[in-house]
């Protein structure tokens, strides 16, 4: 039920978009414009957490792309983005065949060792990692990494992303001795290629800090989190969502150490940034509410925690659907509060519903 472990940041699922667009036919036909419009509008709706709208638009983009042929790269891109949406909604059984079909198209069109194949492998691996199917994710990550390394060399910035994702897989399994050298190598590549103050370097610092946090190396984690925060504030501004993530992670560290007075203002600032950046009903806001509520619950401030849990649950149900794993997390956390405040019947009902969602999710 604990939900405050600092975030590792993995690859964006839309990484296919740039290389694949280069494969489109040169003439700008009306059909292609329509396909591109559906796809772009779907991406905008997805970014704004308007998921029902995004699904409709992505499906329309798939329909249009199928007119280009069953092995066209535009179809692979539309399938990828629709899969990304279903993964976000916890509909893993719908996401997987779309990722697989997208991968098959790219392999057939470009060959098994093309960099776009590595990207597609990465996206499918990320789905398996999310589901906890680590044995299925690992060989895909490794193949993706090998393709990138062969195509671009061992010190190309793109390689750092593959290293990060494989490291994150080991991190999720508690295999910290295998994760650390990969995170460290990813960081070194980025610092050499981009300089020590680049936002992408901060991303790697954040992930290495999360690893140290998980290992209980709090002093090392704090130093890296503070450096991450400083870089993102300088490069992106004080109200960027990445800054909110960094604030959340530093707050989680202080929270774990029992430094509640230091954690609270960071959680609050993180939440305020998310609300301003994404609006009050975005899933990121629900995460911020959940974490602040957990802080209050830990301190026995149940009256302050409960309305935050309620709001987080409502946001997740509306944005993600009633059977999403994040909804289960909210139900578990709220149920624990109800139990702590002597409302055993309400707590049992919530925890039972959470358990049902978890079981369904495991079968997907």
What are the pLDDT digits (tens) for 99-151? 999 999 999 999 999 999 999 999 999 999 888 889 999 999 999 999 999 99
CA distance 67 to 222: 53
Other beta carbons within 10 angstroms of residue 286's beta carbon come to: 29
Q: Does domain 153-236 have CATH number 1.25.40.10?
A: yes
Residues 6+ apart with CB under 8 A from 120: 16, 76, 80, 99, 102, 103, 106, 107
Q: What is the pTM of this model?
A: 0.81
Residues 6+ apart with CB under 8 A from 95: 83, 84, 86, 87, 127
Domain ranges of the chain: 153-236
Residues 6+ apart with CB under 8 A from 280: none
- For the segment 289-303, what is each residue's pLDDT rounded down to a tens digit? 999 999 999 999 999
* Rg (the chain; Cα; Å): 21
What average pLDDT does range 306-324 have in this prediction? 93
pLDDT bracket for residue 89 (50, 70, 90): confident
pLDDT bracket for residue 323 (50, 70, 90): confident
């Amino acid at each position: 039920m604990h939900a405050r472990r600092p975030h590792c940041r993995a690859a964006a699922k839309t990484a296919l978009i740039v290389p694949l667009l280069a494969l489109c036919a040169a003439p700008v036909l009306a059909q292609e414009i329509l396909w591109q419009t559906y796809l772009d509008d779907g991406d905008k709706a997805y970014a704004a957490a308007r998921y029902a709208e995004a699904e409709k638009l992505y499906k329309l983009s798939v329909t249009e792309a199928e007119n280009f042929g069953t092995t066209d790269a535009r179809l692979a891109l539309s399938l990828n983005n629709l899969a990304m949406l279903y993964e976000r909604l916890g509909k893993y059984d719908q996401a997987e065949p779309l990722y697989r079909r997208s991968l098959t198209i790219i392999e057939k069109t470009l060959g098994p060792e093309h960099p776009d194949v590595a990207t597609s492998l990465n996206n499918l691996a990320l789905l398996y990692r999310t589901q906890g199917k680590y044995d299925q994710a690992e060989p895909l990550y490794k193949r993706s990494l090998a393709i990138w390394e062969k195509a671009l060399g061992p010190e190309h910035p793109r390689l750092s992303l593959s290293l990060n994702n494989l490291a994150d897989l080991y991190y999720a399994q508690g295999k910290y001795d295998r994760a650390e050298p990969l995170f460290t190598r990813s960081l070194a590549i980025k610092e050499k290629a981009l300089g020590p103050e680049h936002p992408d370097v901060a991303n790697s610092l954040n992930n290495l800090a999360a690893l140290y946090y998980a290992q209980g190396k709090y002093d090392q984690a704090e130093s890296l989190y503070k450096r991450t925060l400083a870089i993102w504030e300088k490069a992106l501004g004080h109200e960027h969502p990445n800054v909110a993530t960094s604030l959340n992670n530093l707050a989680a560290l202080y929270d774990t150490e029992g430094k509640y007075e230091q954690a609270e203002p960071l959680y609050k600032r993180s939440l305020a940034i998310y609300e301003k950046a994404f609006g009050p009903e975005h899933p990121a806001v629900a995460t911020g509410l959940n974490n602040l509520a957990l802080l209050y619950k830990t301190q026995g401030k149940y009256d302050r925690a409960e309305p935050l849990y309620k709001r987080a649950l409502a946001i997740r149900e509306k944005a993600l659907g009633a059977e999403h794993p994040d909804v289960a997390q909210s139900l578990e956390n709220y149920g624990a509060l109800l139990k702590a405040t002597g409302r055993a019947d309400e707590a049992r009902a919530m925890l039972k519903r959470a358990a049902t969602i978890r079981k369904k999710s495991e079968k997907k």
